[in-house]
Amino acid sequence: MKKIVECVPNFSEGRNQATIDAIAAAIRDTPGCRLLDVDAGKSTNRTVYTFVGDPETVIEGALAAARVARELIDMRRHHGEHPRFGALDVCPFIPVTGVTMEECVTIAERFAERAATELQVPFYLYEAAARQDYRRALPDLRQGEYEGLPERLRDPRWRPDYGPAEFDPRWGITATGARMFLIAYNVNILGTANQAHRIALNLREAGRGEGQPGRLAKVKGMGWFVDEYHLAQVTVNLTDYRVTPIHVLFEEVKKEAALLGVGVTGSEVVGIVPLEALLLAANYYIEQEGLFVYEEEQKIRLAVERLGLNAVAPFKPRERIIEYIVAEPPEEPLASLSVRSFIEEIAARSSAPGGGSTSAAMAAMGVGLGAMVAKLTYGVRRFDAVQDQMKRAIPVLHDLTGRLIPMIDADTSAFNDYMDGLRLPKNTDEERRIRQAALEEGLKTAIRVPLTTMRLGDAAWEMLIEVARFGNPASRSDVQVGARALETGIWGAYQNVVINMEGIKDEEYRRQTLAEAGVLLQRAQHKCQEVLAIVDTRR
């Protein structure tokens, strides 16, 4: 799995476009770094950059940006709404894929050490990288902000983790560390900064101070007025969006605003947001409003609409959801072919793609036909009596169709793994042992893929029976073809399991796998006949 780390440096400059652009260019021009977002705020006088790369390149990107800030930002002239204490105020590293939190701690330490040495500026470590508990939370580190640094740095308890302990009036100090994905989120208030701050105090975890906690855990927040929007905002950091999701914060702000007699007009995400956070919001509104929405794209659209994420600027999912941004095109050379090209590829003088890929394609088409009939039945007035059945069937069949398609290419890839094993040398006992182990592992992979096809196909039968029983009878031939195609796809996958099992020496593995495959095959035969019998009774 490719290692991807997110870095979200916050610089104390949101008004000088030349400086903002120069920092962005430094990140963008770092080989291996991908700049995802630049979010500048004039009122806060702060710009949040979001970029990704592997563990090595994110360090280089952060260093490149820090070099520009060292040259162009002077904290002696900085004023803004947001708390701050350094030119590069914070620089967190966040694990995205294939990376642990511990690795991100190491990345933060390496970045701090290199930047402190090269730029001669001080660094604190915070969050997961903190070496003392009292330095873990950013608000504790920032207490007194930039103006309080001369006195604070004289206190031995607040010596920097890296770099000189003397106050640098031009730079201030930087906090770097590792943390989970933090969502910077603002809810728009048609009121004053004071009213927004009152709401934030009631909701944020710290509340109004000792003995007066707020209602929502893992929330840091305050209120301010944004001149360019001519709006007040409850501005929060959701430090664990699974504990307090976006939609929960939004709905709680609406309740608090209603008590004050002020309006809420949408919200905004600052920077990038995880897909899961918006899906959680979508599922909440689907349940609350009794909606039927099953496609991911429509769920995202619903969440954006209900949260008012387009209120101050267009929210473009492909540019704001991190999974969409970093996603690489799936390696599906067969599934991406036209139908003609796919058939011609099967017919070519080569052993792959063969029966396994064809079986997966047939199973996918069989399930897809069931999904089609269910969708054609749903929403039609004369089928109002069976809408509940279609609402149960559609998400299952839609999802399984999508999960079966990648099995077309997976089967060919598994076969190629086995062929790679055949090419290994076999001149010595050790080479023969290694080759045999590789061949057996290749065969197990070649078995696992068609067995997965069988399992996925098997999961479709109950809903396909529902479609046969309640779906539009004018589409009965589609249901019949779907059942036969699914049965044949499962039968073909079974044959691939059996033929690849011949080279397996592991007797326990053979017994368990063939037993499971046999059950799935028999169920396919029985369920197919059940579907066909139901359709016959509806002629």
What does 33-81 look like in DSSP terms, one character per residue?
-EEEEEEEETTTTEEEEEEEE-HHHHHHHHHHHHHHHHHH--GGG---S
Query: Which residue shows structure tokens 């839609």?
Result: 398
Residue 501 CA to residue 507 CA, distance in Å, equals: 10
CB atoms within 10 A of CB 378: 18
User: Alpha helices, DSSP H only, in 163-206?
Assistant: 193-203
Side chain identity at 140, as an amino acid letter?
D
- Backbone torsions φ then ψ of 178, nearest 5 degrees: -130, 140
DSSP H or E stretch at residue 6 = strand 4-7
Answer yes or no: 82 catalytic. Answer: yes
Would you call the peptide bond into 329 cis, given omega within 30 degrees of 0 as the criterion?
A: no
Annotated active-site residue in 78, 82, 247, 398: 82
Three-class secondary structure of residue 449 per DSSP: helix
Torsion of CA 303, 308, 313, 317, to 10 degrees: 0
Three-class secondary structure of residue 94 per DSSP: strand
Annotated active-site residue in 37, 89, 161, 411: 411
Give the rounded distance of the alpha carbon of 343 from its chain centre: 35
Residue 53 CA to residue 119 CA, distance in Å, equals: 23
> Which DSSP letter does residue 330 get?
P
Yes or no: say if 256 and 195 are a contact pair by the CB < 8 Å rule.
no
DSSP H or E stretch at residue 125 = strand 123-127
Count of alpha carbons within 13 angstroms of residue 43, beta-carbon side: 14
Residue 76 CA to residue 339 CA, distance in Å, equals: 65
Answer yes or no: 411 catalytic. Answer: yes
**What tokens appear for 54 in the block?**
């592997």
**What tokens appear for 471 in the block?**
């779906």
Give the rounded distance of the alpha carbon of 219 from its chain centre: 21
Q: Which residues contact 510 (CB under 8 A, 6 or more apart)?
A: 501, 504
CB atoms within 10 A of CB 56: 13
Question: Residues with catalytic annotation?
Answer: 82, 411
